[in-house]
Amino acid sequence: MSDGALQSVAETSQSSVGDIVIEANALTKAFSEEVIALQGASFQIKKGSFISLVGPSGCGKSTLLRLAAGLIDRTSGSIQVHGAEVDEPRTDVGMMFQKPTLLEWRTAVENVLLPTEIKGSVGEDDRRRAIEALHLVGLKEFEFHFPRQLSGGMQQRVALARLLQTGADILLLDEPFGALDEFTRERLNIELCRIVDNTPTTTLFVTHNIAEAIFLADEVMVMTPRPGRLAKVVEVPFERPRSLDLQLTPEFNAIESEVRDILGSYV
Kindly report, residue by residue over 177-218, the tens digit of the pLDDT.
888 888 888 988 998 998 888 888 999 999 999 999 999 999
Do 11 and 116 fall within a single domain?
Answer: no
Do 77 and 197 fall within a single domain?
Answer: yes
Query: Distance of CA 166 to CAs 92, 132, 225, 252, Å?
Result: 8, 13, 33, 34
Helix axis angle for 152-165 and 182-197, nearest 10°, is: 20
C-alpha–C-alpha distance, residues 173 and 213, integer Å: 12
Q: Which of 168, 176, 172, 170 minimizes the C-alpha distance to 101?
A: 176
DSSP summary character for residue 249: S
Do 237 and 131 fall within a single domain?
Answer: no
Do 87 and 195 fall within a single domain?
Answer: yes
Do 64 and 155 fall within a single domain?
Answer: no
Do 39 and 7 fall within a single domain?
Answer: yes
C-alpha–C-alpha distance, residues 222 and 52, integer Å: 8
Beginning with the edge strand found earlier in the chain, give each strand of the sheet holding 76-81 in spatial order.
36-46, 20-30, 76-81, 84-85
- Summarize pLDDT for 4-34 with one digit per residue, the tens: 434 444 343 344 556 999 998 988 999 988 8
Q: What is the CATH number of the domain that holds 33?
A: 3.40.50.300
Q: Compute CA 197 distance to the chain's CA centroid, rounded to the nearest angstrom.
A: 14
Do 13 and 137 fall within a single domain?
Answer: no
**Greater model confidence, 12 or 79:** 79
| Domain finish residue from 112, 144, 167 | 167
DSSP string, 21-60: EEEEEEEEEESSSS-EEEEEEEEEEETT-EEEEE-STTSS
Full domain range(s) for residue 141 = 101-167
Do 139 and 245 fall within a single domain?
Answer: no
C-alpha–C-alpha distance, residues 157 and 136, integer Å: 9
| Domain finish residue from 167, 196, 218 | 167
- Of 72-76, 87-91, 107-111, 228-232, the poorest mean pLDDT is in 228-232
Helix axis angle for 124-136 and 152-165, nearest 10°, is: 140
Residue 235 has pLDDT above 60, yes or no: yes
Residue 68 phi, psi dihedral angles, 5° rounding: -65, -30
| Domain finish residue from 109, 136, 167 | 167
Residue 119 has pLDDT above 50, yes or no: yes
Beginning with the edge strand found earlier in the chain, give each strand of the sheet holding 170-174 in spatial order.
93-96, 170-174, 202-206, 50-54, 219-223, 230-235
Residue 172 phi, psi dihedral angles, 5° rounding: -115, 120
Domains: count for the chain: 2
Do 66 and 178 fall within a single domain?
Answer: yes
Contact between residue 37 and residue 227 where contact means Cβ atoms under 8 Å apart:
yes
The whole-chain average pLDDT of the chain stands at 88
Do 163 and 181 fall within a single domain?
Answer: no
Q: Identify the pLDDT of residue 224.
A: 87
Helix, coil or strand: residue 163? helix
Q: How confident is the model at residue 267 (pLDDT cuts 50, 70, 90)?
A: low
Do 261 and 201 fall within a single domain?
Answer: yes
Do 44 and 118 fall within a single domain?
Answer: no
Buried b (16+ CB within 10 A) or exposed e, 50-59: bbbbbbeeeb
pTM: 0.88
